[in-house]
Amino acid sequence: MTTIHTAANRLEFIQSSVMLGQLLAILLSLAAIGVRLLIGDALTGFPFLTFFPAITLAAFLGGRMAGITAAILGGLLAQYYLIEPINSFAETGAAGWIALGFYALTATIIIVLMNAMFAAFDRQRDSENRLQMALSAGGGVGAWDLDIASGLVTANEQFARLYGVDVARARDGAPLAEFFGHIHGDYSARVQAAVEKAIATGTELREDYRLVQADGTLRWVLAVGRCVYDADNTPSRFPGVSFDITSRKATEEKLRLLNADLERQVVERSSERGTTWQLSPHLLSVINLETGCFSRVNPGWTAAMGWSEDELVGKPFYDFFHPDDRDMTQEAWEHVQGGEAALNFENRYLTKNGETRVLSWVAVPEHGFLYCTARDVTADRALKDSEA
């Protein structure tokens, strides 16, 4: 369908020119009579047969009027050269009129079908143009369609530019690898696995990741799609859209940093003023970034973990977390020592009586100290694990 549609678009100049269409009809009709005369007696009794392909091609390439012209010329040529009496337009009796009527009916059906096909193509093209306008107005929205058998992706201009692929190649179909080649290395394997899972299971693809632009900058995109299957449940196509969410991600990051700073201020001020520090059910603490030791902890630690303030203050925080979480905690610690906030970082801590609790941390470094607030999310984590 796509190939025919493309061919039809490229032949619009013929259909828009009456002269070219008529010339095409004449040439095809002459070719049809020439072929019929060369065949000779092999098609005796079927005088109109070779004219049907000529009518079809004329209607397909030149439009309705070219098809009608080819049909009229074909009827006249057949009547003159192939139907008794030869070289004459004399009446041929009832049988001749029946054959001519059948020819006219068949030619009409061919022309109507060709015209209907091009009308459908025009509607599809108009629909695609409206969709393209809507996507363009959406700002950074790209539409794509993966043909699973060939591995080729056809995409609109927005998608091609977003993924750094030539627009013409994307429109005609480019290998999937060309698009994946611009996904940031931290996300490439994850996105590949998500696409494979969506194709295998029929579930929706919804992944956000970063793209490397030609100038080296990074943009965030959200890809959403779902696989289409044939009647025998074989994956055939994987259409979808990608949204440029760079601005949204930047806003979210600002909000996260703002919330982290508010968390830090809560910890800092409450530790100074006492009321919130004493009454908060959350585990509030201040850790020395140089030594890794607790400088201050609130009573929430004793209530949730059993450790008293004296047992915690002055002790390294890594004496209390689960040993299996050492590597991930060490990595997070190096990040906060480098000035990065830890947002919703989870690890396991040991209570005084040896139980394991999952804590979710927000920790913000400032002036040599790490201001922390932690929530006990053990029950939430257990519920998620049971539902997985």
Is 259 a residue whose pLDDT tops 70? no
Range from 50-64, 200-214, 328-342, 357-371 carrying the lowest mean pLDDT = 50-64
Q: Tell me what pLDDT residue 10 has.
A: 44
Q: Do 265 and 280 fall within a single domain?
A: yes
Beta strands (DSSP E) in the chain are 141-147, 152-155, 174-175, 205-212, 218-225, 228-229, 235-244, 283-288, 294-297, 342-350, 356-366, 369-376
Nearest-10 crossing angle of helices 51-62, 18-39: 160
Asked if residue 74 lies in contact with residue 47, where contact means CB atoms within 8 angstroms, the answer is no
Q: How confident is the model at residue 2 (pLDDT cuts 50, 70, 90)?
A: very low
Give the model's pLDDT for residue 25. 83
115, 134, 153 — which closes off a domain?
134
Same domain, 205 and 220: yes
- Most distant CA pair in the chain: distance in Å? 121
Q: Where residue 265 falls among pLDDT bands split at 50, 70, 90? A: low
pLDDT attached to residue 8: 47
Q: How far apart are CA 152 and CA 172, in angstroms?
A: 9
DSSP 183: B
Instruction: Decide: 2 and 46 in contact? Cβ < 8 Å.
Output: no
7 Cβ partners below 8 Å, 6+ apart? none
What pLDDT does 324 receive?
94
Do 110 and 180 belong to one domain? no
What pLDDT score does 274 carry? 58
Higher pLDDT, 118 or 230: 230
Residue at token pair 């956000």: 208
CA atoms within 13 A on the CB side of 21: 21
pLDDT at residue number 175: 92
80: CB partners within 8 A, 6+ apart: 86, 87, 88, 89
Mean pLDDT of 329-355: 91
Boundary-marking domain end, from 244, 276, 306: 244
Per-residue pLDDT at 136 exceeds 70: no
Cβ count within 10 A of residue 280: 16
Question: How is residue 97 written in tokens?
Answer: 């009129």
Q: Are residues 162 and 218 in the same domain?
A: yes
Question: How far apart (Å, rounded) are the C-alpha atoms in residues 152 and 214?
Answer: 22
User: Quick check: 135 pLDDT over 60?
Assistant: no
| CA distance linking residue 172 with residue 299, whole number of Å | 66
pLDDT at residue 72 tops 50 = yes
Range name among 10-19, 55-64, 368-377 with the lowest pLDDT average: 10-19
pLDDT band at residue 124, thresholds of 50, 70 and 90?
low
User: Interhelix angle for 64-81 vs 18-39, to 10°?
Assistant: 30
Pairwise pLDDT comparison (29 vs 130), residue with the higher score: 29
Question: Is the pLDDT reported for residue 98 higher than 70?
Answer: yes
Burial class (CB in 10 A: 0-12, 13-18, 19+), 348: middle
- With 0-12 / 13-18 / 19 or more C-beta atoms within 10 angstroms meaning exposed / middle / buried, residue 289 is middle
pTM for the model stands at: 0.40
Together in a domain, 183 and 82:
no
Q: What's the confidence (pLDDT) of residue 39?
A: 79
Domain boundary among 244, 263, 288: 244
Residues 257 and 381 in one domain: yes
Task: Tell me what pLDDT residue 134 has.
Answer: 47
Query: In the structure encoding, which two tokens stand for residue 16, read together?
Result: 């828009």
* pLDDT of 229 over the 70 cut: yes
Give the percent of the chain with pLDDT over 70: 81
Q: What is the pLDDT of residue 32?
A: 84
Q: Is pLDDT at 138 greater than 60 in this prediction?
A: no
Q: Of the segments 65-74, 235-244, 305-314, which one has the largest average pLDDT value?
A: 305-314
Look up residue 151 and give its amino acid: G
Question: Which candidate, 285, 372, 292, 374, places its Cα nearest to that of 337?
Answer: 292
Q: Which domain holds residue 317?
A: 252-387
Mean pLDDT to the nearest integer, 171-188: 90
Q: In terms of domains, do 130 and 194 share one? A: no
- Do residues 46 and 123 share a domain? yes
**Which of 92-96, 205-209, 232-236, 249-253 is least confident?**
92-96
Q: What is the mean pLDDT of the chain?
A: 82
Q: What is the CATH number of the domain that holds 161?
A: 3.30.450.20
| DSSP letter for each residue of 220-248 | EEEEEE--EE-TTS-EEEEEEEEEE-HHH
C-alpha to C-alpha distance for 125 and 135, rounded to whole angstroms: 15
Of 2-6, 77-81, 161-165, the poorest mean pLDDT is in 2-6
Cis peptide before 85 (omega within 30 of 0): yes
Q: Are residues 207 and 112 in the same domain?
A: no
Q: Within this chain, do residues 129 and 199 fall inside the same structural domain, yes or no? A: no
Question: What is the Cα–Cα distance from 63 to 258, expressed in whole angstroms?
Answer: 64
Indicate if 62 and 108 belong to the same structural domain. yes
Q: Quick: pLDDT tens for 297-328.
A: 998 899 999 999 999 999 999 999 999 999 99
Q: What is the mean pLDDT of residues 22-42?
A: 82
How many domains would you assign to the chain? 3
Please indicate, yes or no, whether residues 334 and 377 belong to a single structural domain of this protein.
yes
Q: In this model, does residue 273 exceed pLDDT 50? A: no
Residue 266, pLDDT > 70, answer no
Closest CA to 108 of 151, 75, 157: 75
